Amino acid sequence: MDDFKMVLGMDFLQKVKAVPLPFLRSMAILEEEKPCMVHTVTEGREDEGSGEPMPKEIERVLDEFKDVMPPELPKRLPPRREEDHKIELEPGAKPPAMGPYRMAPPELEELRRQLKELLDAGFIQPSKAPYGAPVLFQKKHDGSLRMCIDYRALNKVTVKNKYPIPLTADLFDQLGRARYFTKLDLRSGYYQVRIAEGDELKTTCVTRYGSYEFLVMPFGLTNAPATFCTLMNKIFHPYLDKFVVVYLDDIVIYSNTLKEHEEHLRKVFKILRQNKLYVKKEKCSFAKGK
């Protein structure tokens, strides 16, 4: 047990509604307001690249769809879609007005850098809204800082989208008989979804360097996971429960044979290309065995 910092028992897992999903190397947290996926993190090793080689058939598919796996998102807005993220407020409610949080000098420097990146990409624009949410930072496992918007006050007055979460038993039924699995992770997936026209002001964040509104879907909005699932389920509808399952922000392709898996993966990539959606290759796993 010396190798583990913490061991979580069944009582804790039941309390937080955590369900291990070994075939996704993940754990689903089925909290009603904000369900999420927690992915396993493994320390890098010198022999990390010495595992099972990728089949040549799969390498050919990845080479064919290199444009779907760019090193960064295109510096342009995603296309308008029916599934653009809408923010419906409760009757009579208004977005709360809050002041910016205090930050240490290193955080302010990081704030300036990330705001510039978002502005250069066209994902945010200066806002004159009389309200807004403060910004804070969350440290990632690699030590870098993720900029988050504290939308808790806005979420309290937002009408909740009760989008159904897939039952884990159904996932096991679908995936249990397959032999090959690919798990796709979209590159900054939320930033590939537009905010519905007219709702941009509601996303305003306030900082020491001014107020900005999002043109793409930021992290922290209560209905963001539901919007993302709705989009994924719509575009992959012809293939759902045949060889594709969408679980929160994961797209899983499963097949009985390697030949089938090659064909299935090609069909999924064609759908992503048609919808101008982009994959983060380094966070995906391809053609893994059971």
Q: Which residue has the higher pLDDT, 53 or 45?
A: 53
Mean pLDDT value across the chain: 86
What is the residue whose two structure tokens read 């900029």? 147
Is the per-residue pLDDT at 41 higher than 60?
no
**CA 202/CA 87 separation, integer angstroms:** 7
Least confident span in 40-54, 142-156, 269-283: 40-54
Q: Is 280 exposed, middle or buried (0-12, 13-18, 19+ CB in 10 A)?
A: middle
Residue 158 CB partners (closer than 8 Å, separation 6+): 87, 88, 89, 90, 221, 222, 223
Domain ranges of the chain: 16-40+55-75+163-190+225-289
Q: Which residue has the higher pLDDT, 51 or 42?
A: 51
Is the per-residue pLDDT at 172 higher than 70?
no
**CA 121/CA 193 separation, integer angstroms:** 14
Residue 96 CB partners (closer than 8 Å, separation 6+): 131, 133, 153, 154, 157
Can you tell me the mean pLDDT for 126-140? 92
Is the per-residue pLDDT at 143 higher than 70?
yes
The candidate with the shortest Cα–Cα distance to 248, out of 193, 185, 159, is 185
Confidence band for 141, pLDDT divided at 50, 70 and 90: confident
Q: What is the pLDDT of residue 252?
A: 92
Confidence band for 45, pLDDT divided at 50, 70 and 90: very low
Q: What is the pLDDT of residue 206?
A: 97
Summarised one tens digit per residue, pLDDT across range 65-84 is: 999 999 999 999 999 999 99
Is the per-residue pLDDT at 260 higher than 80?
yes
Domain 16-40+55-75+163-190+225-289, classified CATH 3.40.50.10210, yes or no = no
